[in-house]
Amino acid sequence: MKIAVVGATGLVGGEILEVLEERNVQFDELLLVASARSAGTKKTFKGKEYTVITMEDAVAQAPDFAIFSAGGSTSLEWAPKFAAVGTTVVDNSSAWRMSPDHKLIVPEINASTLTAEDKIIANPNCSTIQMVVALEPLRKRYGLKRIVVSTYQSVTGSGKAAVDQMMNERQGIDGPMCYAHKIDMNALPHIDVFLDNGYTKEEMKMVNETRKIFNDYSIGITSTTVRIPTVGGHSESVNVEFKEDFDMEEVKALLNSAEGVVLQDDPKHNVYPMPLTAHKKDEVFVGRLRRDESQPNTLNLWIVADNLRKGAATNAVQIVEYLQKQLKIA
């Protein structure tokens, strides 16, 4: 089996390689792919040195899988070219997420909808993934009526340039600006571009992707997304109204037994999810469970996950694992 990592020199590309190694994904040949500018550079995987190749070279080798993390415009141009030679593409960008002809997959929720004919598969937005993984066991039990979510997102979600800006500011170094304002010791309620309705593109991603993943367009969803000066993961304050009332102990039991979820809810002992402790982990961490006392059937919860892991690399690799195991692709 031959697998390509497209965007191998970026933050998420590097994380994909780590996840492939940690999860011991089986393949015979690895292709590290990037732009022509990065072609020829060297990267090491499992002690072996690889030379980064161009898109054209990778397509010519017709890999079985290609995990893309190279931006939307690159995916729109190159994913169909890979698919045309028989490659199954798992794409981390927003390019295909809302396409009616492509599936938006979180393995814990809807991997069973995949078929061998799905040649371009969309990976959801990082902040969407962690929220839907945490809500899925509760959705199945109580039904979802409305979600109000506010996010507190790591600078790593903007790539290396954003991390560099924050660290430069922290050290008093003048450098290139990734954001419109300083990020260190600040909070920016501005992720992606502003749209005509006053929301940002990131906020509408959470609305639209959640409905598509759950295949339920009746759910009321509103979102505010904020960039904060941290690394390690995104945090979310979620207020969810269910169709039915819930029992708090049952909620905890459902989350405790849910695939990919870790319950950290012991506030008396200062135990709750944090980016610091979610960093480099593949799971979604949930805590601060409280009944909303202002209206019926409503729960408050705090959700944290490493946005480069479950929010991107891990979810994509899990899709490949599912296709290998369940559909015997490659």
The reply to whether 97 sits in an annotated binding site is yes
Give the C-alpha separation, 107 to 115, whole Å. Answer: 13
The reply to whether 153 sits in an annotated binding site is yes
- The label of the residue with tokens 């040649």 reads 119
178, 181, 234, 269: the catalytic one is 234
97 token code pair = 């997420």
**What does the buried/exposed string (b/e) look like for 263-274 if buried means 16 or more CB atoms within 10 Å of the residue's CB?**
bbbeeeeeebbb
Torsion sign across C-alpha atoms 18, 23, 24, 27: negative
269 among known catalytic residues = no
Backbone angles phi, psi at 107, to 5 degrees: -55, -35
The reply to whether 38 sits in an annotated binding site is yes
Q: What is the number of helices (H) and of strands (E) in the chain?
A: 10, 13
Q: Which of 58, 61, 29 lies closest to 45, judged by CA?
A: 29
Residue 262 is classified by DSSP as E
Q: Which of 186, 181, 128, 126 lies closest to 159, judged by CA?
A: 126
126 among known catalytic residues = yes
Backbone angles phi, psi at 169, to 5 degrees: -60, -40
The reply to whether 14 sits in an annotated binding site is no
Greatest Cα pair distance in the chain: 60
Axis-axis angle for helices 126-142, 201-214 (nearest 10) = 40
The reply to whether 20 sits in an annotated binding site is no
143 token code pair = 């039904």
126, 190, 269, 279: the catalytic one is 126
204: Cα separation from own chain's centroid = 15
Residues with Cβ within 8 Å of 171's Cβ and at least 6 positions away in sequence, in order, are none
The reply to whether 270 sits in an annotated binding site is no
303 token code pair = 């959700």
Note whether 147 and 219 are within 8 A (CB).
Answer: yes
The reply to whether 232 sits in an annotated binding site is no
Binding site per annotation, positions for substrate: 153, 227
> What residues form the annotated binding site for phosphate?
97
User: Known catalytic residues?
Assistant: 126, 234
Binding-site residues: 9-12, 37-38, 97, 153, 176, 227, 307
Binding residues for NADP(+): 9-12, 37-38, 176, 307
